[in-house]
Amino acid sequence: MIPEIGHFALIMALVMAMVQGTIPLVGAATGVTPWMRLARPVAQGQFLFIVIAFVCLVYSFLMHDFSVLYVAMHSNSALPWYYRIAAVWGGHEGSMLLWMLMLSGWTFAVSMFSRNLPDEMVSRVISVLGLITIGFLLFVLLTSNPFTRLLPAAPDGQDLNPLLQDVGLILHPPLLYMGYVGFSVVFAFAIASLLGGRLDAAWARWSRPWTTTAWIFLTLGIALGSWWAYYELGWGGWWFWDSVENASFMPWLVGTALIHSLAVTEKRGVFRSWTVLLAILAFSLSLLGTFLVRSGVLTSVHAFATDPQRGLFVLGLLVVVVGSSLLLFALRAPRVKSEGSFAGASRETLLLVNNVLLVVAMATVLLGTLYPLLADALGFPKPSVGAPYFELLFVPLMTPLVFLIGLAPFARWKKADLPAMAVRLRWAFGCAVAVALLLPLVLGKWTPMIALGLLLASWVIVTIVYALVQRARRARELGTAPFAGTTRSYWGMQLAHFGIAIFIIGVTMVKGFEVERDLRMDTGDTFNVSGYDFRFDGVAEHSGPNYAAMRGRVQVLRDGREVVTMHPEKRVYSARGMPMTEAAIDTTLFRDLYVSLGEPVDNGAWSVRIYYKPFVSWIWGGCVLMALGGVLTVSDRRYRIAVKQRIKGESPAPAQPGAVALAAESHS
Amino acid sequence: MKRRLLLLMPLAIFLLLLVFFYDGLKLDPSLVSSPLIGKPAPQFALTELYDPSVTISNADMKGEVWLLNVWASWCVSCRAEHPVLVDLARQRVVPVYGLNYKDQREDAIGWLKAFGNPYVSSLHDLDGRVGMDYGVYGVPETYVIDRQGIIRYKQIGPVTAKVLNENILPLVQQLKEERPS
């Protein structure tokens, strides 16, 4: 009964979405206010029905309803309750339902937090979101219904893929989807503006918090996925340039570019058609990611659920959504003229370079990811496009970008005085060079890559500190409190940039100083890796709720003192007979110790892998700081103030008089 | 006019990509069966991975049912399937030969050292010529070859425990029971 209610709720949601996608849009085109006003209640109703459907599926999992095919395939009576909830999105059908929940959740959010926007805009935005919803609901109902019955019911379920039985996976897909789907809002704003013919500063201002919010989720989702791969796949790597990882990284790159170009469009009225294109691109790449993951066009470690028929449907959706929006762009964008002008050396130019670098980086990833497809179609030989390709191209692309992070916040809008900037920043640069030259020597190993990494990281940190010191000094001259005129979005920017520095330190240190040892260890053997003594105390049998395991015991000592006892495992999950390696990891701020069991060799000896990974947690820490920077930015009060100003019919002007003196250096 | 053309560019690029995507769907490995199934396995003579002085060819496996697993140290999915192969090797049901595809010798050896070596022997196919003869789409791939040297099954993508137990092992059992002619 419950699954049928869920199924019915999905159909009701589709009906609501059809109303949502058409009537307000027509209303906006013809100026019929009641039709426009229909947008909000219909979107909220649609959200309600999706929530009902989702709750029904969760309920079926919790109640072990193995008469539902999807539950029987992805759950098991021995599976703990929290994994049963995570199992809801452990397979294709449930993932898509989660996708839907996110989409209508974002629509709901738009309907709630858009009270200050004109009716015409809101109705168009919600309608565009409704049209996307129709496409995906049809996809779910026609090709991937999670409520399909299995009669007679299975006595027990096949269990959730053991790779996915993990805390990281409970959170990774929801965060990632929140990011992916979040770009649909910015996309809808862009399309609505193209339809209404108003690509102005107000449009950019409305889009900014939505873009940043989606970007925050995407950042956290990618970081969590990387962390999950690190500890769950048992290989000790944190990024594999796998096609599915790339699929999430591309919208991130474009989203990052979009955040910066929206700033320019809002402040200076330039780059408008470029910004619109980025908004369309960010969401298109999210859809492309969905297509690549769901169609099985590219094989990948993530190939948990792939199906070519579904691929065809998603491809069709891609054609309709992306094709029509790019066509609309080609038709409408020629009318958009830039207002402001700017000199060759100005903050506008620096941000444009930032955008170009990010988009080129995205294109590089896209090309590398799709290369197998292109090569196949064109009959090229297929060399491996793997990590070496991406790393070769990424370092030269990211180096100037990170250099700009230090530079751009000091440049003025319209026209910057480059020689004066060079004089002001020469000490900062000198500091960074000194760190890059000397620190690796102190650490005991100097290579060009380590030096480059530390140069970039210290350049970013030194320029941030310098910028803050300067602000405080200037505030003192004006007689105000040190950071009185400093907005939250400025803090957010600096924090996010600081996060990048932390991330670079993590990557540099891991790449430069990690130690990997593959050893054959008898019980009682001790090996020294990077100053830690690892003593292997043998392996014992152990059993979990739905698996049997061989559990190793490794005692770690440093200078004779015990540091930690680690328990790497090799598990076999009973329902699927699938072997899994569960690495043991000991994390501190400055290093990870990573032990994983290989194979039994003979007479109780095992092959054991021991990694020493300095600063590895900084990689994810950096991402978290970036996301926190985003949170600070979104919470900036100027978004609320500005919106109210517009209602009164005033043009958006810099608000507080105290901030005017600092305006040249604020917000980017 | 120039600006108009420029603004049409994104659409043009997208349409071009679509062609490849559509093509990609048709090429989907799970839909395409290898034209080589039922045909004799292409001849090869390659050096052994660990010992370049030893050459191995089809003739060495004559009269045996065996698996040929195409792998490479740069291949991420190979790591995913590797535990399954190591497990299979331990059961000693069927010999697994590796075709080390477009890989450097030292990388490949290091990889086997790190993750375990399930192969009776690995053949070193540096330029991928043998892989091309076998129609390798993407690594990993696994072929089941019978006593007469005929390819009977091809798995594209990682061998999972499920594929092994439901497809490969029953087939191997059946092939072993066929009388050598």
Report DSSP state, residue A650.
P
Contacts of B30 in chain A (CB under 8 A): 296, 306, 308
Residues A508 and A449: beta-carbon distance below 8 Å: yes
* Residue A294 and residue A209 share a domain: yes
* Residue A413 and residue A296 share a domain: no
Query: Which one of A275, A281, A599 makes the best mutation probe of the B interface by having the most chain B beta carbons within 10 Å?
Result: A599
* Residue B96 and residue B19 share a domain: no
* Residue B45 and residue B110 share a domain: yes
Contact at CB, A386 and B74, closer than 8 angstroms: yes
Closest residue in chain A to residue B117, using alpha carbons only: A599
Half-sphere exposure of A339 (CA within 13 A, CB side): 9
Domain boundary, last residue among A577, A602, A617: A617
Instruction: Reduce the DSSP state of residue A552 to 3 states and report it.
Output: strand
Residue A555: inside a domain, yes or no? yes
Which token pair is A253? 């790159």
Query: Which one of B3, B4, B5, B11 makes the best mutation probe of the A interface by having the most chain A beta carbons within 10 Å?
Result: B11
Residue of B155, B181, B157 lying closest to B172 (CA atoms): B155
pLDDT at A375: 72
Q: Is A663 on the interface with B (CB under 8 A)?
A: no
* Residue B51 and residue B17 share a domain: no
* Residue B153 and residue B134 share a domain: yes
Residues A53 and A96: beta-carbon distance below 8 Å: no
Contact at CB, B10 and A329, closer than 8 angstroms: yes
* Residue A101 and residue A45 share a domain: yes
Contact at CB, A578 and B160, closer than 8 angstroms: yes
Q: Is the peptide bond before A146 cis (omega within 30 degrees of 0)?
A: no
* Residue B143 and residue B123 share a domain: yes
Number of structural domains found in chain A: 4
B169–chain A nearest CA distance, Å: 15
* Residue B99 and residue B26 share a domain: no
* Residue B71 and residue B28 share a domain: no
Residue A192: inside a domain, yes or no? no
Domain hosting residue B147, numbered range? 37-177
* Residue A233 and residue A281 share a domain: yes
* Residue A500 and residue A436 share a domain: yes
Instruction: Reduce the DSSP state of residue A378 to 3 states and report it.
Output: helix
Q: Hunting for tokens 């426009």 — which residue is that?
A: A36
Residue A173: inside a domain, yes or no? no
* Residue B91 and residue B61 share a domain: yes
* Residue A120 and residue A71 share a domain: yes
User: For residue B155, what pLDDT band results from cuts at 50, 70 and 90?
Assistant: confident
pLDDT tens digits, B24-33: 666 544 444 5
Residue A89: inside a domain, yes or no? yes
Report DSSP state, residue A332.
H
Q: At residue B173, what is the residue type?
A: Q
Residue A195: inside a domain, yes or no? no
Instruction: Reduce the DSSP state of residue A515 to 3 states and report it.
Output: strand
Residue A389: inside a domain, yes or no? yes
* Residue B151 and residue B108 share a domain: yes
Contact at CB, A377 and B24, closer than 8 angstroms: yes
Domain hosting residue A287, numbered range? 205-335+351-398
User: For residue B19, what pLDDT band results from cuts at 50, 70 and 90?
Assistant: confident
Q: Which of B:124-143 have CB within 8 Å of A?
A: 128, 137-139
* Residue A407 and residue A392 share a domain: no
Task: List, in sequence order, every beta strand (DSSP E) within chain B.
Answer: 45-47, 55-57, 66-71, 96-101, 121-125, 141-145, 151-156
* Residue A222 and residue A280 share a domain: yes
* Residue A360 and residue A445 share a domain: no
Nearest CB among A280, A315, A607 relative to B21 is that of A315
Contacts of A576 in chain B (CB under 8 A): 161-162
pTM for this structure?
0.81
Instruction: Reduce the DSSP state of residue A83 to 3 states and report it.
Output: helix
pLDDT at A298: 56
* Residue A420 and residue A377 share a domain: no
* Residue B111 and residue B53 share a domain: yes
Report chain A (668 residues): mean pLDDT per 10 consecutive residues: 94 97 95 93 97 97 92 87 90 89 96 89 96 94 89 79 76 90 95 88 91 96 90 75 86 97 90 93 90 60 49 84 93 78 87 95 90 72 68 91 93 87 91 94 92 96 94 86 84 96 96 87 89 90 86 91 91 73 89 86 82 94 97 83 46 37 36
A658–chain B nearest CA distance, Å: 41
* Residue B79 and residue B19 share a domain: no
* Residue B149 and residue B116 share a domain: yes
On whether ipTM exceeds 0.95, the answer is no
* Residue A113 and residue A93 share a domain: yes
Q: Is B45 on the interface with A (CB under 8 A)?
A: no
Report DSSP state, residue A68.
B
Contact at CB, B17 and A577, closer than 8 angstroms: no
Contact at CB, A318 and B30, closer than 8 angstroms: no
Residues A525 and A535: beta-carbon distance below 8 Å: yes
Nearest CB among A296, A301, A377 relative to B20 is that of A377
* Residue A525 and residue A457 share a domain: no
Q: Which residues, including other chains, have CB under 8 Å from residue A122's CB and lie 6 or more apart? A: A36, A39, A40, A110, A111, A114
Contacts of A237 in chain B (CB under 8 A): none
Number of structural domains found in chain B: 2
A360–chain B nearest CA distance, Å: 14
Residues A99 and A181: beta-carbon distance below 8 Å: yes
pLDDT at A306: 47
